[in-house]
């Protein structure tokens, strides 16, 4: 018999150039455990419905375990002539079991087999990535707790805006990554629908039991339209979109820290283990890990773009184009997983230069908005208060001083009696203490949030 799973229809051999062009074993071999697991569930089901004997199903399952062991140990031979991991495993089974091995593919097609394997792989990696995100969140919450007294200048448009606690800054990223986790968890719902049993596109006339396979593989439901199954890669696109958002969140954080390590900012001292030097400038300490996390986000977004273009205009049902989904999928997962791991470690080992931050903290009128809100409380309409503080800032710039350095007479000229209380909201410490809204950088509110996240992550299922 032909080594090809489809060889009976063809009289001649496949051109070697075609074999090289069409192979996917060079990258889809990483699906081997998922292919074997799905095949074992399929064989057990065939035994239950009488399409295999109990002994044949047991032989197939045991032999698949042996093949998996050989692949684990690097003892299994791969060849482009066998196209993909699915054909390799089936051919190895047939070599060992003969006609019993030839019965495994009963009631299924490579179309539903492939998408089942990919769903199993995606499901495993969804769970792994969720664990990586939890570790990153824990690093951020620990950093928030360790730096709970540190005050940072907050920025909009990269201009100093208002003071924020460093803990509040770290918790902002905890929230972003929590949304990422929730997106992954939501994606998992659509991943966890069994495709196997749809066969090529129309189902099968054989008495298979798809619900049995779903239970064995831990799927929540069975796909209800066989024509949809073999063409469906929505779950891959959704997963890689979610990964793209994670990569973008990591990239934004990396950009901030790259800036904060410069002499111009001087906020951070990165650990040597996460930096490199220059081949010509002996004084350099370059934030290469952060730069690559930022740079690799482009790869993940590019993977998403590749997938979007791959499925554009594909007619129902299966088309060989879909073989190309795996390179982008694997690359996106590998890139984000490595970036998350390094980000968590880097955050855990980085220290803020508190003295440098404090030396310039009063610069940039971080208390201006708090002063405006104080005027509002005193009865000044918001727009009038905004204009008044703007004029005071301009006056300070002309005098090269801070708002707290203006005399009481200046504030009295705005509104009688103002000068007696205005200084209690001026200066960074007073401005910070004035915050009170839920979700703000108010010290008590931030402490409450830190404690909430500590408890939440301590009991997380990935703990």
Catalytic residue list: 157, 278
Residue 49 burial (CB count, 10 A): 14
- Record the tokens describing residue 285, joined without a space: 């300490």
Which residue has tokens 């005399």?
407
Report CA torsion sign: 329, 334, 339, 341. positive
Residue 255 CA: distances (Å) to CA of 207, 276, 460: 57, 17, 29
Q: Give the pairing type, strands 159-165 and 151-156.
A: antiparallel
Which alpha helices (DSSP H) does 378-436 contain, by range?
382-399, 408-414, 428-434
From first CA to last CA, the distance across the chain in angstroms is 52
CA–CA gap between residue 356 and residue 270 (Å, rounded): 15
Which alpha helices (DSSP H) does 312-349 contain, by range?
325-349
Instruction: Please name every residue paired with 164 in a beta bridge, in sequence order, or none if there are none.
Output: 152
CA–CA gap between residue 88 and residue 91 (Å, rounded): 5
CB distance 113 to 36 below 8 Å: no
Alpha-carbon Rg for the chain in angstroms:
30
Q: Is the preceding peptide bond at 317 cis, omega within 30 degrees of 0?
A: yes
What distance lies between CA 452 and its chain's CA centroid? 23
CA–CA gap between residue 244 and residue 387 (Å, rounded): 42
SS3 for 51? coil
Which residues have CB under 8 Å from 429's CB, separation 6+?
A: 151
CA atoms within 13 A on the CB side of 56: 20
């Amino acid at each position: 018999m032909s080594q090809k799973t489809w060889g009976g229809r063809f009289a001649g051999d496949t051109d070697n150039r075609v074999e090289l062009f069409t192979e996917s074993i060079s990258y889809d071999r990483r699906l081997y455990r998922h292919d074997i697991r799905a095949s074992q569930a399929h064989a057990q089901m065939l035994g239950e419905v009488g399409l295999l004997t109990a002994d044949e199903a047991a032989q197939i399952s045991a032999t698949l375990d042996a093949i998996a062991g050989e692949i684990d140990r690097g003892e299994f031979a791969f060849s482009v002539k066998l196209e993909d991991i699915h054909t390799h495993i089936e051919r190895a089974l047939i070599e060992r079991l003969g006609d019993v091995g030839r019965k495994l593919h009963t009631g299924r097609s490579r179309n539903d087999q492939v998408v089942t394997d990919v769903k199993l792989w995606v499901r495993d990696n969804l769970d792994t990535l969720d664990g990586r995100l939890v570790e990153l969140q824990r690093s951020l919450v620990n950093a928030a707790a360790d730096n709970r007294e540190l005050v940072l200048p907050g920025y909009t448009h990269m201009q100093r805006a208002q003071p924020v606690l460093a803990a509040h800054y770290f918790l902002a990223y905890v929230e972003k990554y929590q949304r990422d986790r929730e997106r992954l968890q939501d994606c998992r719902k659509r991943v966890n629908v069994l495709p196997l049993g749809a066969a090529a596109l129309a189902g099968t006339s054989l008495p298979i039991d798809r619900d049995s396979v779903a239970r064995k593989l831990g799927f929540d439901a069975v796909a209800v339209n066989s024509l949809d199954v073999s063409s469906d890669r929505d779950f891959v696109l959704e997963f890689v979109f979610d990964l793209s958002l994670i990569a973008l969140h990591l990239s934004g954080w990396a950009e901030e820290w790259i800036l904060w390590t410069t002499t111009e900012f001087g906020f951070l001292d990165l650990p040597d283990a996460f930096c490199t030097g220059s081949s010509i400038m002996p004084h350099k300490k370059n934030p290469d890990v952060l730069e690559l996390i930022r740079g690799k986000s482009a790869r993940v977004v590019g993977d998403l773009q590749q997938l979007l273009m791959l499925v554009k205009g594909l007619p129902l049902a299966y088309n060989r184009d879909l073989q190309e989904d795996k390179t982008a999928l694997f690359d996106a997962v590998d890139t984000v997983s490595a970036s998350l791991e390094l980000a968590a470690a880097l955050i855990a080992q980085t220290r803020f230069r508190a003295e440098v931050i404090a030396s310039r903290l009063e610069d940039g009128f971080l208390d201006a908005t708090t002063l405006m809100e104080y005027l509002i409380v005193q009865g000044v309409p918001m727009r009038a208060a905004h204009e008044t503080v703007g004029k005071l800032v301009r006056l300070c710039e002309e005098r090269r001083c801070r708002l707290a350095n203006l005399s009481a007479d200046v504030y009295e000229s705005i509104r009688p009696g103002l000068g007696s209380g205005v200084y209690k909201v001026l200066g960074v410490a007073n401005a910070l203490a004035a915050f009170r809204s839920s979700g703000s950088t108010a010290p008590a509110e931030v402490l409450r949030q830190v404690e909430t996240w500590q408890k939440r992550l301590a009991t997380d299922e990935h703990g």
